[in-house]
A and B are shown apart, each in its own frame.
Chain A
Amino acid sequence: MRRTWWIYLIGVLGLVAVAAPFAWMVLGSFKTQGELLRVPPTWWPEQPTGQNYADLFSKANFPRYFLNSTLVALAVTAGNLTFCSMIGYALAKLRFKGRNALFVLVMATLMIPGMVTFVPLFVLVTNAGMANSYPGLILPFLVSPFGVFLMRQFFSGLPDDLMDAGRVDGSSELGIFARIMLPLTRPALATLGILTFLGSWNNFLWPLVIAQTENMYTLPVALALYSKGQNAQNFGLLMAGAVVVVVPVLVMFLVFQRHVTKGIAITGIK
């Protein structure tokens, strides 16, 4: 025990560095604009106020933005988990002509920065009549090259013997994928799920551009709209909004992260 005190010290320092901005954000959401701008800054709110939250929820349509964000993030996550694992499995375990070429193609798209394809994608989606709709918000992100890459690498690490055992026992190919192989990739699925959900939840530019009316806005877009003016910023509202935006992400993370470690322990034959 004597020699481990410094480990705790490092741990505590790291924790402070990570958690302090969060604490500042949460505390800041209960401060008035005047107090937030004061020098020197205060740590605890002097006169805690719920006004920022009241403003936030009275401003237009907050439940609607929340619903939009949730719907889009869940759909995109579900799509990525389904399709990326299917493609990843096919690229890793099934033998067919052009498999490697296909994989290289997927990898190639990973190299192109999203900003370059942004405008062409927007034109494409608009011409398909999906501007200002949920399909327009969801469809372009249903499958990501990164997800395919992640799942393929993970499937590659699983032994082929498991599939052979399934075939011997008379399972269908779909059964082998869904009942044997897929459950083994739980840690990869959890990682992909967290990353995709986060990415979609925080996405700003695409929803901003694709939404043509306010009722299709997602949380980050609405937050930017109401907290930032041309010349002045409402910091209190921004903090309160950020707290509301962050909570579901935290919950999501807590749900998924248990599987990340759990999965590793139960992986197959050795």
Chain B
Amino acid sequence: MITHSIRRRLVIGSAAITATALALAGCGRSEETPSGGSQATTTVSEGPATGNLTVWAMGTEGENLPKLMQQFQQANPGVKVSVTPIPWDSAHNKFTTAITAQTLPDAAMVGTTWMGEFADLGALDPTPQGFDNESFYPGALDTTKVGGTQYGVPWYVETRLVYYRKDLATKAGITEPPTDWDGLKAMAKAMKEKAGAKYGINLQPGGSGSWQTVMPFAWSAGANLTNEDQKEFTFDTPEMVEGLRYYQSFFTEKLAGTDLPPNQTEAQFVNGQVPMFISGPWMAGSVAKLGGDAIKPNIGVFEIPKNKTSTSFVGGSNFVVFKTSKNKDSAWKLVKFLSDPKTQAAWFKMSSDLPAVKSTWEDPSIASDPLLPVFGKQLESAKAPPAVVNWEQVANAFDTEIEKMAKAGQSAEDTAKATQTQATSIGTGS
């Protein structure tokens, strides 16, 4: 009775939840990998959306989305959208279980790093024609592409910049934010020597997600995580080593600390202990919440300093339609509505999620903000990790090697080699 495909989904679904995920998810796939072809041929029909639509969205997005859906329902009187907010904790489990049991909603918000896995499980519907892909940031658009096929569209984005204390920078004699690697190093040094900081800059010395701070430097040095067709990892390259060596030098020169308590980035920034860090747009809010009105005018951001390029990390979420949906046509109309520049602006005002559509950034609510336009500029060249099935696993291995490099003095060359060896044995999974 149980067909091969159901059994396969059972295996992968269980695996994703249990600790054996690492071993099993790698070998289950293959036959069902979506067939090639760059863009699906189906198109979204004209006319308003109709029927019932169920939508999943995580966290605050899930809380705020019903407000936006009212606008959609006004424009399409025949449709009823019910939004289920999903906690970020275990949201991934909820999706993989639902994929296994085929109890998916019509459309959902999906984290950019899950795209490869979900597409490989055959859960996502390829994006039909009629979407203006030119309107999105290219780095964000790349996160929707798995093996040459596009699934869903970028919904909102975030990228990483260097944050700094303006007042302390002045004290350290820095008048212009640095634009190159030497400049950043000099600034961190000045912060430490002249502005009384314990460390010049807060860099994550390994641990979960530290690759997101390392890769902007490596990307800027010209490194890539995979080769062109995303089949092989390319960690062991001179460019990657250059990025890693630069990152490590902050630790060896005592400009960044390995002895700081974790999760205190905001506090250390506010009390001047560590007046610089690299992070995303949400940190401006967290710092202001902690430091109050006094800190607000002193928060400054600048783009990732340039080596060959200035290339940061792009994250965020995509909006997808699931293959199992019985109302795909209307679901795609909803996705289209969400990626409309006007909707994107309205959504920014409700959620402060940064729009994935470039033209929305001209909206006065964003353009007049003191910090946001810098994010917009960085986003134009920002890159995403490859949408391959095993990326999260490889990222974990990378994080561990980064920790060895920052804390135990493992050389940049050895770090690159060790990561490459592990990444090759894990494989891309596609």
Question: Which residue numbers of A lie inside 8 Å of B, CB to CB?
Answer: 33-34, 37-39, 59-60, 113, 115-116, 118-120, 122-123, 126-127, 131, 204-205, 208-209, 211-214, 221, 224-226, 228-232
Contact of B18 among A60, A116, A208 (CB under 8 A): A116
Question: Which B35-77 residues sit within 8 Å CB-CB of chain A?
Answer: 54, 58-60, 62-63
| B binding-site residues for A, Cβ under 8 Å | 10, 13-14, 17-18, 54, 58-60, 62-63, 82, 84-90, 93-94, 97-98, 100-101, 103, 105, 111, 158, 261, 264, 266-268, 271, 280, 282, 285-286, 289-292
* CB atoms of B13 and A119 under 8 A apart: yes
Q: Is there an interface contact between B90 and A228, defined as CB atoms closer than 8 Å?
A: no
B86 and A116 form a contact (CB under 8 A): no
Q: Which residues of B contact A126 (CB under 8 A)?
A: 101, 103
Beyond A34-B292, A123-B100, A131-B103, is A205–B93 a contact (Cβ under 8 Å)?
Answer: yes
Cβ B289 vs Cβ A116 within 8 A: no
Do the beta carbons of A208 and B17 come within 8 Å of each other? no
Nearest A-chain residue to B16, judged by Cβ: A119
Q: Contact check: which of B13, B18, B111, B261 meets A39 at CB < 8 Å?
A: B261
| Least Cβ–Cβ distance between A264 and chain B, in angstroms | 39
| Min CB–CB distance A109 → chain B (angstroms) | 17
The reply to whether A33 and B290 form a contact with Cβ atoms under 8 Å apart is yes
B14 adjacent to A119 (CB under 8 Å): yes
Q: A182: shortest Cβ distance to chain B, in Å?
A: 38
Residue of chain A at shortest CB distance from B105: A212
Task: Report the Cα distance A37→B89, complex, angstroms.
Answer: 21
Given contacts A34-B289, A39-B267, A119-B14, contact A225 B86 (CB under 8 A): yes
Chain B residue numbers with a CB within 8 Å of A232 are: 282, 285-286
Min CB distance, A176 to chain B, in Å?
44
A225–B292 alpha-carbon span in the complex (Å): 26
28 contacts between A and B (CB under 8 A): A33-B290, A34-B289, A34-B290, A37-B264, A38-B267, A39-B267, A39-B271, A60-B63, A115-B17, A120-B10, A126-B103, A205-B93, A208-B87, A209-B93, A209-B94, A212-B84, A212-B105, A221-B87, A224-B89, A225-B59, A225-B85, A225-B86, A226-B63, A228-B59, A229-B60, A230-B59, A230-B111, A232-B285
